[in-house]
Structure 1
Amino acid sequence: MIDLHCHILPGVDDGPATMEDAVALARAHVEAGTSTVVATSHVSWDYQDNGPANLLPAVEALRARLAEEDVPLEVLPGAEIAMTRVDALDNGDLAALKLGGSAWLLIECPFSPSAAAFAPVLDVLQARGHRIVLAHPERCPAFHREPERLSAYVSQGMLTSLTAGAFVGSFGREVEKVAREFLAEGLVHSVASDAHDLRRRPPGIREHLLAAGLDPALTEWLGRDVPAAILGGDRIPMAPVTFPKPSRGGVLGRLRARTGSGR
């Protein structure tokens, strides 16, 4: 598995506090079948000191320690960027914070009830030439209320990265339902761990998706094939299986009612 969203750098956000904790988290990633993680520390006003100046050296320090400890996990640079922080970052900063040096930025979906303020930020980023992966939209109340906005963003070329634990109820039944419905509607392109620690938010992608009953080929597409294409600058591959037909109720029923679509 290739994990595009993981808080593994020590002492920079709400991930591991120490280098020892980060090494333990890296070992757990390897045990969970992950070969590569992108260190997506928070770049937000809560962690306003975070930026290329401190995050890139932290990646190099962790890489060196993992080599010393013989932990076979590749760690790449990146960030989880809050929408409210985007205006404070110039294009050079944004380029340095892209996922593994790719063309893609990981943008955090806020935990706010309205998506009205999202569009200006995302439009500006795209106008500045940046490609966007939306982090954990299944946990964003605004997309529960207005799923048509997420559908529109995907139509504009944005990708999504959902959290593996969402598919097995780690964030509650409503988030699990929405994650499954977004998947059924073709609004999910990759799945990551969003791991922070060993107990509260541990690593793992494949086991969660298989436990949720996803097809093994779809699991590999979400957890390996699409992330590899994102990091490698390749065309996003087609899904290997047909997505299950969504129910007419719930968030996607509202989506189809508002957009006039139906299946």
Structure 2
Amino acid sequence: MKKFLQSLFKGESVAEASFSALAVDMHSHILPGLDDGADSLEKSLELVQAMKELGYRKLIMTPHIMSDFYKNTPDMIRERLAVLRAAVQEAGIDMELDCAAEHYLDEGFLEKLSRDEELLTFGDNYLLFETSFLNEPLNLREAIFKMRSKGYKPVLAHPERYSYFYGKFDDLAELWKQGVLFQPNLNSLSGYYSPAAKTVAEKLIDSGMVDFLGSDVHSLKHTDSLNRVLASKYLPKALSLAVRNSQL
């Protein structure tokens, strides 16, 4: 691997050789001023450029929507997308930009589902959602049923990071078998979040239970960490799976 990376440095960049196979990132917090990601247009532009250097050609950016903290709406998100698109074009950065959202599973989310309010999706009606990292929501399966009954295809963001599934991999696997798509974070492969998250991410890959791979980029700290993922022996394994990023 070391010789392989050294040879790439002489010509094609490591990032292009590794992440260009994904082509599309479908989970990030790059849109400016909407959540705990980029807090300015300048930082958004830096992140878009960093993602381009990592080999991506398209970014589907997904600001948090949480009833108590990030009360973003589809109109607000689309407005920031338009601003960033204009800035990226002016800066001469060749990157396709789109948006969706990362929906937090709370009562507000369930109410939106019940009222048939617009929820931002990507691709083939994929709906990205997350939960508490510590406590399994009592309404997890109810929410999944509602999403599917409304025609959405639920995508669980970073399933490897939910501590309530630690030691309960069979429960996690059962969700996947029931049709919940899984999107591990690439940075989990380097142990960025925790050793436990790394272990679960590797087990998901070994089990073939990966449908998307996401960057979950919030800042340059995350794009810098993605460079370390290149040394992970699990990255080629992950890229060999039938991940759907390039189809978006």
Q: Structure 2 stretches of 5 or more lacking a match?
A: 1-22
**Is 1:91 aligned to 2:109, yes or no?**
no
Deviations 1:169-200 (CA, angstroms, capped at 9, x unpaired):
1012111111111211222222111000112x
Q: CA deviation at 1:214?
A: 3.0
Q: Distance in 1 between matches of 2:208 and 2:126?
A: 20
Match for residue 244 of structure 2 among 188, 205, 226: 226
Match of 2:175 in 1: 153
Task: Quickly say closer, same or farther: Cα 1:137–1:11, change in 2 above 3 A.
Answer: same
Percent identity between matched residues is 27
Matched AA of 1:68: E
Q: CA deviation at 1:115?
A: 5.3
Q: CA deviation at 1:46?
A: 3.9
Deviations 1:127-158 (CA, angstroms, capped at 9, x unpaired):
11111111001000122143223212211222
Match of 1:202 in 2: 223
Q: CA RMSD in A?
A: 2.1
Deviations 1:213-238 (CA, angstroms, capped at 9, x unpaired):
1364742657xx51133x3xxxxxxx
Match of 1:213 in 2: 233
* TM-score (ref. length: structure 2): 0.82
Q: Distance in 1 between matches of 2:54 and 2:240?
A: 14
Task: Quickly say closer, same or farther: Cα 1:93–1:208, change in 2 above 3 A.
Answer: farther
Match of 1:31 in 2: 53
Q: Distance in 2 between matches of 1:67 and 1:157?
A: 38
Task: Quickly say closer, same or farther: Cα 1:106–1:204, change in 2 above 3 A.
Answer: farther
Q: Distance in 2 between matches of 1:113 and 1:33?
A: 36
Q: Distance in 2 between matches of 1:208 and 1:226?
A: 23
Conserved? CA contact 2:186–2:229, under 8 Å:
yes
Match of 1:104 in 2: 126
Match for residue 143 of structure 1 among 159, 165, 172: 165
Conserved? CA contact 2:101–2:128, under 8 Å:
yes
Match of 1:81 in 2: 103
Q: Distance in 2 between matches of 1:46 and 1:170?
A: 27
Task: Quickly say closer, same or farther: Cα 1:112–1:5, change in 2 above 3 A.
Answer: same
Deviations 1:96-132 (CA, angstroms, capped at 9, x unpaired):
x0025x3100011321233543111111111111111
Matched AA of 2:111: A
Match of 1:60 in 2: 82
Task: Quickly say closer, same or farther: Cα 1:105–1:208, change in 2 above 3 A.
Answer: farther
* Matched residue SS, 1:20: helix
Task: Quickly say closer, same or farther: Cα 1:215–1:31, change in 2 above 3 A.
Answer: closer
Matched AA of 1:160: F
Mapping 1:181-192, distance limit 5 Å: 181-192=203-214
Deviations 1:31-81 (CA, angstroms, capped at 9, x unpaired):
111111111000012434201120011111111110111111111110000
Q: Distance in 2 between matches of 1:193 and 1:5?
A: 6
Conserved? CA contact 1:167–1:180, under 8 Å:
yes
* TM-score (ref. length: structure 1): 0.78
Q: Distance in 2 between matches of 1:44 and 1:91?
A: 17
